[in-house]
Amino acid sequence: MPNIVVLGSGMAGFGAAYRLHAERITPVMYDKNSYHGGHTASFRSDTGFLFDVGPHISFTKDPRIQEIFADSVDQQYETIQINLNNYWRGYWPLHPVQVHLHGLPEDVIVKVIKDFVEESQGPEKPIKNYADWLVASLGRSFAELFPMQYTRKYHLTTAENMSTDWLGPRIYRPTLEEVLRGALSPSAPHVHYITHFRYPSNGGFMSYLKKFVPMGNLRLNHELVSIDPRARQLTFSNGHVTQYDGLVSSVALPDLIRMIHGAPPDVVEASRRLACSTCVLVNIGVNRQDLSRAHMTYFYDEDICFTRLGFPHMLSSSNSPSGTGSIQAEVYFSDKYKPFTGSPNDWIEPVITDLRRCGLLRDDDKILSRGAMLLRYANIIFDLERAAALKTVHGYLDDIGIAYCGRYGDWGYMWTDESFKSGELAAERALSAPVSSR
């Protein structure tokens, strides 16, 4: 049996373990954390509020993954019709705003529709970046008032500095009829790419990993600090040293490259150009449930510190004590564009203040739980440097036989199902490496 080592115990690491399990191989899995799950871990506060590591829902359309996840929670999951909205200068339009202009100021609606029509009737222009795509698809006024502003808060850079290869169905490109209907009527049709989602009934999103945990020989509190690809040797910060025949890694690329003995300078330099956001998650428990009608709200205004809010108590009643509600706020930074300094706890009070300012928290609300955590790697930023830098980094890892996977190994905008499948594919690559090179 080849000795396959898996680095990381998130969705990608367990995708690899699942694939290897089918070959009757139990990999040794290392994780630096004292818990498994990575970005899909869930934690319950002393006061009984459960928070995932960022808002996590499963909206995969892949029936195989749906089945695997459902089996992992013994079919105990909720199926929920999604409800999303937005907050913009005191207005709460439904999502996506481009087909829900109803209720916004008249001048805004007129300008947005005028520009939309002008743009769709004008000559086709070359699309060099995300800003060009937004203007061509939605008209200049809408692009500047909404998605370009959101981009600065969520992606921490300008739309001009971003590519379009991450878009897929993420930003809806409406027809004129949809824009008009959404401006005239409060009940425009649902066009978002997610209509329903699933969420485990108990234990938070992390429960989806339950059946995979025994498929790996899991070693927690093992932080990898160096890789010698020639000797096929790994060294951990606690002094543990081990060999491998095949290596699957879901470690974030900039960290991974830094650890590799003899990584060429151009590869190290390329890995430094890869941009990702850092997220401070602020978790609040409140003494009432009717906090929001939406499962998630997007915030555009630059004077509101958070970019998105999620309401975990609306995903499963087991996420908060009876009669209470919960809010998870995301505040974004980026090493490359807006470095985070200080402590995550510094953001608890500003978040509470802004929740009050936009009316989600009332003066008489009792805060039953408050906490914050830092997600060092959150969302990959598709800036214009990404593609070339990634090609250099991935090319080198292919050459030295490290099978990268997951959101931070593939360095893509990947959801949990995609990270899981990426882990499966990486396991196959590790298995198919020629025996002589093992």
Ligand X SMILES: Cc1cc2nc3c(=O)[nH]c(=O)nc-3n(C[C@H](O)[C@H](O)[C@H](O)COP(=O)(O)OP(=O)(O)OC[C@H]3O[C@@H](n4cnc5c(N)ncnc54)[C@H](O)[C@@H]3O)c2cc1C
Contact residues for ligand X (CB under 6 A)?
Answer: 7-13, 30-33, 38-40, 54-58, 222-224, 250-251, 255, 279, 330, 375, 378-379, 406-408, 414-416, 419
Kindly tell me which of 39 and 153 has the beta carbon lying closer to ligand X: 39
* Residues 15, 427: Cα–Cα separation, whole Å: 8
CB of 156 to ligand X, least distance (A): 14
CB of 48 to ligand X, least distance (A): 23
Check: CB of residue 215 under 8 Å from CB of residue 71: no
DSSP string of 26-90, one letter each residue:
--EEE-SSSSS-GGG-EEE-TTS-EEESS---B----HHHHHHHHHHTTT-EEEEE--EEEEBTT
Mark residue 58 as left, alpha or beta (left: phi above 0; alpha: psi -120 to 50; beta: remaining): beta
Q: Please report how the helices 265-273 and 386-400 are oriented relative to each other, as an axis angle in degrees rounded to 10.
A: 140
Kindly tell me which of 30 and 130 has the beta carbon lying closer to ligand X: 30
CB of 337 to ligand X, least distance (A): 16
Kindly tell me which of 91 and 413 has the beta carbon lying closer to ligand X: 413
* Residues 101, 93: Cα–Cα separation, whole Å: 7
Kindly tell me which of 113 and 280 has the beta carbon lying closer to ligand X: 280
DSSP string of 138-157, one letter each residue:
H-HHHHHHTHHHHHHHHTSS
Kindly tell me which of 142 and 306 has the beta carbon lying closer to ligand X: 306
* Residues 111, 283: Cα–Cα separation, whole Å: 38
List residues bridging with 81 in a β-sheet.
Answer: 196
CB of 221 to ligand X, least distance (A): 9
CB of 129 to ligand X, least distance (A): 24
Kindly tell me which of 115 and 424 has the beta carbon lying closer to ligand X: 424
CB of 117 to ligand X, least distance (A): 35
List residues bridging with 51 in a β-sheet.
Answer: 43
